[in-house]
Structure 1
Amino acid sequence: MLAISRNIVILFSAGLILLLVGCEPAKDTVDSESSINVSTANKNNATLLASMIEKRQDFELVVLSDGRLLSIGGRGVASLVTSAVNTTEVYDPAADKWTLSGHMNEVRSVTSAVELEDGTVLVSGGAAHQRNATSLTEIWDPGTGEWTIVAPMNQAREKFGLIRFADGRVIAIGGSDDIGQHTPTAEIYDPATDTWTIVDSMGENRIWHTTTALGDGRILVTGGGNPDGPFQKSAEIFDPATEKWQYAGEMSVSRSQHTATLMADGRILVVGGRGKRTTSEIYDPVTNSWDSVADTTNPRAEHIAIANSDGSVLVAGGTGNLQSMELYDPISNSWTEVGKMQYSRYRFQAYKRDDGSIMLIGGQGLETALAETEVFNITLSNRTQDELDANAESARSGVQEVALNATPTALPTATPLPERKTVTNEGMKFNFTEAIESDPSGTTITPLGNPVKLAIGQTVISPNPDSGMAGIFEAVVSDDRESGGTAVVKIFIRMGFFDQGTTDVTLQAGGEPAAKKLGRLWICVTDLEYDLDNNPIATVTIFKP
C-alpha cells in the first residue's frame, strides 16, 4: 500500500496532479438518522472561510500529517510574463487562518509536491521563469518554514504526476520539458540518498494526464494531451515491484485535464476533460477493463473530484465558469446536482476535512485568480462497505478479465488536431503606433497594437498574460533582403498559459510588415534591424484588426 497522510481521500484537481493524500477513502461521518440511499447536500450551502493571503490558480496543495494545509506557488494576478509566485502559506484549520511561510528559490506554477515520511514536503518541477519547465527540486521544513534546494530531476517537467511510494521514495511521471516537448519518461527520487534515477518510460508521451494510486500500490495513468488537442485515450499502469509499465487498455474517449478518482469500492471513476466532455467511465483494476457510466449534468475540465466513503464522488467547478457541484452514485449509476459554490472556479484545489465537509480553495474565478476559500457540507448515506463491494462485484459479472501487457503495445493514433489554415496579411493596411523599447526585464506587457523592439529571447505580451498572446523572438532564420530576397523571423507563441510552438514570419525586401493570424489574435513583425554589434532587433506587435 502507498503511504497515506491522515484519513483523507485522494483528491485530483484539474487533471494535472494531483495531490495524493491517501490511497483509501476516508472514514467520513455518516448521518445515522438518514434513510436515503445516496449522498445529499443542501442547495447552495457553501460557506466562506478565511481567504488565502495571495490569489492563486494552478497551485499545489499538500495536506500535512499534522492536519494543516500547505499552499505552494501557482499563478496570481499578472504583473510579469509568468505571473507565477514563489510564495507558500500554511492553513491552520483550528484557527481558520492562513500564514505566509518561506519563499521557494524559484517561482512555480503547475508544479507537483508530496509530503515525505519525515513530515517535510518535496516540491519539484513546474513552470518557472517565462513559463519554462524546470527540474529544480526543493524541500520545505515544517519546523522552520524554510525551503532547501536538493538534487534536481534528470529532466525538466511541468504538468506532470508526482506520487510517494510506501517505502518513502517518490516517482515523477511524464510532463512537458523545458523546450515544450511532451515526455514519456519517469524517474524516482530517493530521499535517503538525495538522488533521482530514471526508470522505465511509458508507452506514450503525456501531459495533463492523471496519476492515481490503486489500492495495491500500483499507479494508473490515463489520457493527456494539449488543451486544444490532440487528446489521448490510452491508460498505463506502473508496478513499483518491477518498475515497469503495462498497457491498461483505452478509455471510451480521449481526455485531457480530466479527473480520475479512487472510489470506496477500489475502482476508478474518470470524469470529463477538454472538448466539452460530459462522459464518465470506470476502470476496474480487478478485470483491467473499462465501462462507460452515466454522463455528468455539465461538461467539465480542470475541475476537482473527491471520493466519499459511501461510494459517491463529488465533482465541482471547471472551465466555463462553473459554480455547480454534482454527485455520482455508483449503485444507481446517476449524477445529481447538489448545489453551487459561492464562486465559479477552475484550476483550484480541494480536500476532505475530518468532519466530512469539503474545502474548496483558490483557482481561477470569473474575472481573476481567487484567494477565497469555502466549505461545502454533504450528508452521506448509510451504505456499508459490503454493499459497495457487492455492487462492484455485480458490475464485473460477465466481464472478461483482460491481461495486462508485459510491455506497452503500439497504441492507436490520438484524436487528430483540427485543420488550421495559416492566414497572412495580404492586402491588409497597418497603422501602428511608434515602436517602444523592450522593458529592461526582457518582458513587455502592452496593449494590443503597440510594437515593441525585441532582442533575441525577449518577449512581448498583449493585452495580458492570462488571456492574451505572448511572442518571444527566438531567431533570425535567414536574411537575404539586401539581394532582393526575404528575411525569416522565428517567433515562439504562447496563448494565455499554453505553449503553441514556433511560427516563422517572412519579411519582404520592400520593408512591408508581415503578419500571421493565430487564433483570434495576430502576430506581426514590422521591422528587422541590427545594432552596432550586429545583434538582430525585431519589432513585434500583437494586434486584432
Structure 2
Amino acid sequence: MPVFKSLEAHLVESQRQSPFKGMALLIALGLMACSPEAPPPGEPGCEEWRVEKSPSCVGGGGPSLSQARYWHEATRLGNGWVLVTGGSSVSATEVYDPAARTWWPAGALAQWRNTHTATLLNNGRVLVTGGFGGETPLATVEFYDPATRTWSPSEPLAQSRLGHTATLLNNGHVLVVGGKGPEGTLATAELYDSVDGTWSSAGLLAQMRSGHTATVLRDGKVLVAGGYGVDVSLTMSEVYDPMSNSWSPAGPLLQARQGHTATLLSNGKVLVTGGNAGGLESLRTAEVYDPATGTWAEAGPMAQVRSRHTATLLGDGKVLVTGGMSGSSHLAEVELYDPVAGTWATAGAMSQGRSGHTATLLNGGQVLITGGLGRNGGLGSVELYSP
C-alpha cells in the first residue's frame, strides 16, 4: 500500500529491518553532522549539514530543508540528486542525496527569487530564470554546475518575468513562455541556446498569460494551456513548433483554469488537473488532451478540489497528485489517476497540509515532497511517498 513517510521514519524502518544497517546509517549521519574533519575529496562540506529540530547529532525531527521555503523549485540532477532553489526571501540552495537521505548546501543564488523556473539542461547544468525578487519581476538568469557545485550568471532574459514556464526542447534549447512583467501579463516567448548562452525571440502567443502550463509532446512540439490573462482565467491553448519557431491554436480547455498542473502521460496524452477559475474557488475537474485530434476530454473528477498542487508521473504510468489549496485551506490529501482505467483513487495523506511545494520523482521510484505553505506559514519539512 502506498505510504508517505518522514525521513526520520525511513531511518527507523531501516533499523527495525536490520539493526546493524540502521545503526550504521545513523552513525554515518551523526558523523556527517558532527565531525570537524574535512569530507573526502569531491564530497560536499559536512559541517553545514542541517537536521531541523534536532538538539543533537542523531535523532530529532529527521533530515529537513535547511530553512522553510515555498514557491521554490526542485530539479532532479543527472546523478539522481535533487537541487532545490529559491523560495520566498531565500537565496540559499541545497541538494538532496536520496541514497544517504541527507541535504547538502549548494551555494547561494546571486539574487533570491521565487515563482522562477529551474530547468535541467542536456549538459547537466540547471538553468534558473526570472521570478520575483522582492520588488519587481526579474530578468536575471543563473545556472548551477553540479560538477563544480558553483553558480554563474548567464545572459539575462529580454523581458523581466515571473509566473512563466521554461521547457527543455528536444533540440536542447529552453523555451520560456509568458508570465508577468513590470507592466502586466506577457504574450512574449524566448529561446535559450545552452551552447552559446544567448537568448532569441520565440514569437508571440495569441494570448498573454501567466500561471499556465507548458508540456513537451511526443512530436517535440509544446502545448501551452490555460493560465491567467487580463483579469480572467483562460481556456485557450496553443502549440509551439520548434522547427518553424511559430505558434498555432489548439483546442480550448473544457474549463478555464490557472494554477493547475499538466502531465505528459505514457500514452502521449496530457492530463490537466485542478487549478482555479478565478478567486479562491479551486476546481475538482480534470481533463486530457489528445495531440492526435487536438481536443480535450473529461478525465473524471478528483475527490478533492485543489489548486497550487503537484502532479507527478510514476513509474507505473499513474499520476500522483498531492496537496494544494482548497479555498484558504492547505491540503494533505493525495490522489492517484490511472490513465488505463481513466479513474481516480485516494492514496492516503501527507503528514502536513501544504501548497506551493514540490514533488520530484526519484530514480528509485519514490517521490520527494519538499517545503510549501502550511497552516502556520512556510514549511521546511520533507516527506517521501513510496508506491
User: Is TM-score (shorter-chain normalized) higher than 0.5?
Assistant: yes
2:65 to 47, 52, 64: 52
What residue number does 2:92 align with? 87
| Structure 1 residue runs of 4 or more that deviate by more than 4 Å after TM superposition | none
Secondary structure of the structure 1 residue equivalent to 2:95: strand
**Which residue of 174, 179, 200 corresponds with 1:197?**
200
Between the two proteins, the alignment pairs up a number of residues equal to 325
Question: SS where residue 185 of structure 2 aligns?
Answer: coil
Distance 1:372 1:272 in 2: 24
In the alignment, the residues of structure 2 paired with residue 139 and residue 165 of structure 1 have an alpha-carbon distance, to the nearest angstrom, of 17
SS in 1 for 2:374: coil
Q: Which residue pairs with 2:58 in the alignment? A: none
Cα distance in 1 between the residues matched to 2:300 and 2:343: 6
Task: Give the match for residue 209 of structure 1.
Answer: 212
SS for the counterpart of 1:197 is strand
**CA deviation vs aligned residue, 1:401-422 (integer Å, no higher than 9, x gap):** xxxxxxxxxxxxxxxxxxxxxx
Q: Using the alignment, how far apart are the partners of 2:347 and 2:122 within structure 1? A: 37
For residue 311 of structure 1, report the CA deviation from its aligned partner: 3.3
Which letter maps to 1:139? F
Q: Which amino acid aligns with 2:120?
A: E
C-alpha distance in structure 1 between counterparts of 2:381 and 2:117, whole Å = 22
**2:235 alignment partner, SS class:** strand
Kept after mapping to 1: 8 A contact 2:300/2:342: yes
* 2:125 maps to amino acid: T
> What residue is the counterpart of 1:24 in the other structure?
none
Q: CA deviation at 1:167?
A: 2.3
Greater helix percent: which structure?
Answer: 2
Residue matched to 2:14 = none
Give the match for residue 456 of structure 1: none
Residue 479 of structure 1 corresponds to which residue in structure 2?
Answer: none
Alpha-carbon distance in structure 2 between the residues aligned to 1:252 and 1:164: 27
Shift of 1:294: 0.9
Equivalent residue letter for 1:208: G
In the aligned structure 1, how far is the partner of 2:179 from the partner of 2:260? 15
Q: Which residue of 2 aligns with 1:536?
A: none
The runs of 5 or more residues in structure 2 that have no matched partner are: 8-62
CA gap of 1:261–1:108, structure 2 versus 1, over 3 A, is same
1:219 aligned onto 2:225: no
Residue identity matched to 2:77:
L
Name the SS of the counterpart of 2:330 in structure 1: coil
- Take 1:327 and 1:189, find their aligned partners in 2: how far apart are those partners? 35
Supply the AA of the counterpart residue of 1:267: K
- 1:158 & 1:167 partners in 2: Cα distance? 25
Matched, 1:352 2:361: yes
For residue 191 of structure 1, what is the amino acid of its counterpart? S
* Matching residue of 1:288: 294
Structure 2 residue 282 is the aligned partner of structure 1 residue 276:
yes
SS of the residue corresponding to residue 331 of structure 2 reads coil
Amino acid of the structure 2 residue aligned with 1:239: D
Structure 2 residue 188 is the aligned partner of structure 1 residue 230: no
Per-residue CA deviations over 1:64-121 (Å, capped at 9, x if unaligned) read 001111100111xxxxxxxx22111111111111111211111100110112222221
Deviation at residue 309 of structure 1 after TM alignment: 4.0
Aligned to 2:323: 317
Question: For residues 294-344 of structure 1, what are the alpha-carbon distances to aligned partners after superposition, in whole Å with 9 as ceiling and x for unaligned?
Answer: 101110100001123433211110112111001112333221111000111
Amino acid at match of 1:247: P
State the SS of the aligned residue for 1:254.
coil
Which residue pairs with 1:246 in the alignment? 248
Who is 2:373 aligned against? 364
CA contact (8 A) 2:72 2:116 kept: yes
Matching of residues 354-433 of structure 1 within 5 Å: 354-378=363-387
Q: 1:187 to 1:365 in 2, by over 3 A?
A: same
Q: Which residue of 1 aligns with 2:47?
A: none
Cα offset for 1:229?
Answer: 5.3
Quote the residue 1:307 is aligned against.
Answer: 313
TM-score, length-scaled by structure 1: 0.58
Contact in 1 for aligned 2:75/2:360 (Cα 8 Å):
no
* CA 1:331–1:234: 2 relative to 1, 3 Å: same
> Quick check: 1:101 aligned with 2:114?
no
Verify the 8 A CA contact 1:281 1:291 in the aligned structure 2.
yes
Mapping of residues 445-460 of structure 1, within 5 Å: none
The corresponding residue for 2:82 is 69
SS of equivalent to 2:306: coil
> Residues 46, 309 of structure 1: CA spacing in aligned structure 2 closer, same or farther, 3 A cutoff?
closer
Aligned to 1:153: 157
Give me the whole-angstrom Cα distance separating, in 1, the residues matched to 2:126 and 2:313: 24
Matched residues in 2 for 1:192 and 1:313: separation?
Answer: 34
Query: Is the contact made by 1:348 and 1:362 (CA closer than 8 Å) also made in structure 2?
Result: yes
Q: Residue deviations 1:125-168, cap 9 Å, x none?
A: 000132x1010011212233222111101000111010122222
Q: Output the CA distance in 1 between the equivalents of 2:125 and 2:169.
A: 15
Alignment check: 8 A CA contact 1:225 1:231 kept:
yes
**Is 1:255 aligned to 2:244, yes or no?**
no
Taking structure 2 as the reference length, what is the TM-score of the superposition? 0.81
CA contact (8 A) 1:313 1:328 kept: yes
User: In 1, Cα distance between the equivalents of 2:98 and 2:316?
Assistant: 24
Does the Cα contact within 8 Å between 1:264 and 1:310 map onto a contact in 2? no
Provide the residue aligned with 2:352 in structure 1: 343
Secondary structure, in 3 states, of the residue corresponding to 1:88?
Answer: strand
Q: 3-state DSSP class of the match of 1:205?
A: coil
Structure 1 residue 269: Cα displacement = 0.8
Larger Rg computed on CA atoms: 1
Residue identity in the other structure for 1:52:
L
Measured after TM superposition, the shift of residue 202 of structure 1 is 0.8
Gaps of at least 5 residues in structure 1 are: 1-40, 76-83, 379-545
1:126 aligns with 2:131: yes
8 Å contact from structure 1 (residues 134, 178) kept in 2: no
Partner of 2:38: none
2:80/2:362 contact within 8 Å kept: no
